[in-house]
């Protein structure tokens, strides 16, 4: 039982890595098998729905992992959430020698029919990240409407910065975005208690 679970998990993690490095169009069953060093029969044994099922589960796993980072740090306030989100991406970029970006974004920008089927999952993931930031901002005294706009800007700016970091082979864009977002959020007048 343990070996079966390990093969399945290895295939999911391999898919996430491929999404991060190649984008959704670069994720094929053969690439997943090669990356995870898994036997061909394991695909349909573990994922009867084939590539679509592997992609769906891998995307959800990646979204949950990143969402958990945002949600856990958001309890410490929005600036902490931004810093932890930025630190996560900085480490991820360095660890991959700037070859790996966001697996969720790779599906969001993919143009194939298969990728379009995954768009509702992508929307749910981004909504979860957005909600965690909104909640942290509201708890910090920012009104709901402005918190929504700031959370949208934060997610968009950080994800865009990750793309720029890959191009520049530097975390400078991400570092600058985090500093400016912190400044913007930190300038919010706190309500009197």
Q: Give, for all 193 residues of the chain, the pLDDT tens digit.
A: 455 568 899 999 999 999 999 988 889 999 999 998 888 888 889 999 988 899 999 999 999 999 998 888 888 889 988 999 999 999 999 999 999 999 999 999 876 777 788 899 999 999 999 999 999 999 999 999 999 999 999 999 999 999 999 999 999 999 999 999 999 987 655 544 3
- Residue 192 belongs to some domain of the structure: no
Output b/e per residue, 147-164; b: 16+ Cβ within 10 A: bbebbebbbebbbebbee
Q: What pLDDT is attached to residue 5? A: 66
The Cα 22–Cα 58 span in angstroms is 14
What are the backbone dihedrals phi and psi of residue 47, each rounded to the nearest 5 degrees, phi first?
Answer: -135, 80
- Residue 191 belongs to some domain of the structure: no
The answer to whether 79 and 185 are in contact (CB under 8 A) is yes
The Cα 81–Cα 114 span in angstroms is 32
CA nearest neighbour of 103 among 65, 156, 47, 49: 65
DSSP tag of 188: S
In this structure, what CATH number is given to the domain that contains residue 77?
Answer: 1.10.357.10
Q: CA 93: distance to chain centroid? A: 12
Domain that holds residue 56: 2-186
- Residue 70 belongs to some domain of the structure: yes
Domain count, the chain: 1
């Amino acid at each position: 039982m343990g070996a079966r679970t390990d093969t399945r998990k290895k295939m999911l993690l391999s898919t996430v890595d491929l999404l991060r490095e190649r984008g959704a169009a670069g994720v094929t069953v053969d690439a997943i098998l090669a990356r995870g060093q898994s036997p061909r029969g394991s695909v349909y044994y573990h994922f009867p729905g084939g590539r679509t099922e592997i992609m769906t589960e891998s995307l959800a796993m990646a979204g949950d992992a990143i969402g958990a980072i945002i949600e856990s740090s958001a309890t410490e306030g929005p600036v902490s959430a931004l810093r932890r989100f930025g630190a996560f991406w900085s480490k991820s970029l360095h660890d991959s020698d700037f070859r790996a970006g966001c697996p969720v974004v790779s599906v969001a920008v993919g143009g194939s029919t298969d990728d379009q089927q995954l768009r509702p999952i992508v929307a749910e993931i981004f909504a979860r990240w957005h909600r965690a930031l909104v909640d942290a901002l509201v708890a910090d005294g920012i009104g709901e409407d402005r918190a929504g706009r700031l959370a949208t800007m934060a997610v968009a700016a950080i994800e865009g910065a990750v793309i720029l970091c890959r191009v520049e082979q530097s975390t400078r864009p991400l570092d600058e975005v985090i500093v400016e977002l912190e400044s913007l959020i930190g300038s919010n007048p706190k309500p009197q208690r």
